[in-house]
Amino acid sequence: MSLVSYSSDSSSSSENSEPEDNNPPQAKRVCHRDTSTSDAPLQIPSGLLKAFGGGSERNDDPEEHGGRQRLFAHVKGNWATFVYVPCPEAFTSWITPALPSVFAYLKKRGETAGMPAARAAAFESNPSDDLHMSVSRVVPVQHHIIKPLTAELQQRCQSFDSFDIMVEKPRIYHNDNKSRSFLSLDVVHGREELKSLLRVVDDVFVDFGLPKFYEEASFHVSVGWTLGEVPFLSAKEQQELLSLLHRDNSSTVPIRVDRLVCKTGNKLHPIHFRS
């Protein structure tokens, strides 16, 4: 099975929740001072530094974020942005009861493969709390670009009609730097409609100088994650996990695609369809 990279997400890794000033400092005139006075610099109270955004550099220690690593450097004035299809409550209610059994299966699989117990159990500790399907990469976007970007997405998506998709096939994905692995469910119905939608999102991103989605798009909903690179699932394992999802012979609940969401930092911008 070929490697398909998955951008860290998202949904659980929002960055830069508030805009920051990205303007370069203005040139300052040389000021001659009395050299007879002390050369010791004035000390600015730490409270003032904190209030006006000064002081120490942003702390990006992965240990403070569950071991997650940035996929791009933090730059003042940039917001982490991506576009996705939100999963309805009916789908979440269908899949949530099955996840403990699914995660227990993956824990046993990891222990059998010799993974440390804590890492093998990490899927259970890190369920996705905001189920969605990405149709763009997570990219840094400057604050002044957000409004025209979302407006253009709305204009080009308002001609779409709502449609249903089905996700079911279990699969393991890795993010771009393979620092995290995700248990996901692949789309098994509605791929052509999603491809049409993706072409529109890609075109808008390119117009704003942003990268397209992955060349070989693989539409999926991630339901849990763990640190490191977890081996892909075999066909037998995929079938066994599928049986756990249908533990009581319940049918897969479809996902109604009637809008997109553009998430910038912690702000959500709905992109509505025609119907």
Collapsing DSSP states into helix, strand and coil, what is residue 180? strand
Percent of the chain with pLDDT over 70: 69
**Contact residues for 163 (Cβ-Cβ < 8 A; gap 6+):** 190, 193, 256, 257
Lowest mean pLDDT among 68-77, 101-110, 121-130: 68-77
- For 44-75, write each residue's pLDDT tens digit: 455 544 444 444 445 554 444 444 445 556 66
Helices (H), the chain: 46-51, 89-95, 99-112, 117-120, 122-125, 143-157, 191-207, 235-245
pTM of the model: 0.73
Strand partners, 255: 165
- For 131-140, write each residue's pLDDT tens digit: 999 999 999 9
Q: Are 174 and 210 in contact (CB under 8 A)?
A: no
Collapsing DSSP states into helix, strand and coil, what is residue 109? helix
Residue 237 region, left (φ>0) first, then alpha (ψ -120 to 50), else beta?
alpha
Question: Cα–Cα distance between 264 and 251 in angstroms, integer?
Answer: 34
Question: Cα–Cα distance between 29 and 32 in angstroms, integer?
Answer: 10
Strand partners, 84: 134, 261
pLDDT at residue 116 greater than cutoff 80: no
